[in-house]
Amino acid sequence: MSFNYRHISKAGSRILERVNNPVAKFAKGKEKQRIQSIPEFMRPDLPLVDEAKKFKTEQDWKFLPGDRVVIVRGEHRGNVCMIKGRDEHTNGYLLDDNGPSKQVVVPKEYWQEGQTSHVVAVPKTMTQKDLRLVADIEDEMNPDQVKTVAVQNVVFKGTYYDEDYKKVLPYRCVLGQTDLVIPWPRPEPVEDGNLATNPEVSREQTYWVDSVARNPIPKKAFMTIRNPRSKYRRGKISAKDLKFLVKPEMPMTESQKAALAMKEQLGEIQRPELTEEDKILISERVKSYLDKQAEAGPTA
């Protein structure tokens, strides 16, 4: 909501909080109205999930684009499909042509390259519980052959660095048989742009240090790489800089002034100095007191 009534009254603030954070019984109706306002070709097939419930890691998703899955629910049950994409707003998966789809009308300003009709088939998103991962494993009856099976569930055990994804990924294993690892699908290669540099060229060494005593950059070249008029190279502090570096003097209260005056008075009092006779007298009294304590013995 773009209007803000917080500056009017506390009641306006409460009204705004109710609109932005509706109670559970009104939240569904509000979400339904919002979805109906979205064009059908952009409308999600699954309900939107809260930010806290969204899948974020590979362990949450379990399947990545390029994985083969089998549909276990719905009219397309039994079809083996490939995951083409993910919908992060609904935690859903987009499948290939073997998966479910719907016919929608797309305005011409949203047509893709090569599109010739307003009506196109758009894949429906599927939930994770409607899919099972498909993997190829060795056939125990025929060791030289492989068979395609549907995995009931997967678990993650250990991590490794994946060169294709350029990050650390967990090992994806079959539940109940952790020694059987199902590798992650390989991502589609991304073509380098026109301004990209060949990796072999970027790793080629073109500079060698020939002296640690002599600066490799000539003095006359420093002005081309440094700003001589930079405020950090002035070597002096301006009045504006001094204003930020020195804290202002705050006025003292009456109690602080009185405490400061008392401290000054105490500092002006002359302390008597101990003479040698005073030191001898004090030491004798301390010695006599300790002797009496030793004669009395330890107290209970």
Residue 296's region, left for phi above 0, alpha for psi from -120 to 50, else beta, is alpha
Percent of the chain with pLDDT over 70: 88
Asked if pLDDT for residue 119 goes beyond 80, the answer is yes
Name the residue among 67, 60, 55 with its Cα closest to residue 94: 67
Q: How confident is the model at residue 2 (pLDDT cuts 50, 70, 90)?
A: very low
Q: Which is it for strands 125-126 and 119-123: parallel, antiparallel or unpaired?
A: unpaired
| pLDDT, mean over the chain | 82
Q: What pLDDT sits at residue 250? A: 84
What is the C-alpha separation between 150 and 175, in angstroms, rounded? 12
Q: Which residue has the higher pLDDT, 20 or 98?
A: 98
pLDDT for the residue 1: 44
pLDDT at 298: 66
DSSP state of 232: G
DSSP 79-132: -EEEEEEEETTTTEEEE-TTS-EEEEE--GGGPPTT---SEEEEEPEE-GGGEE
pTM equals 0.56
* Model pLDDT, residue 27: 67
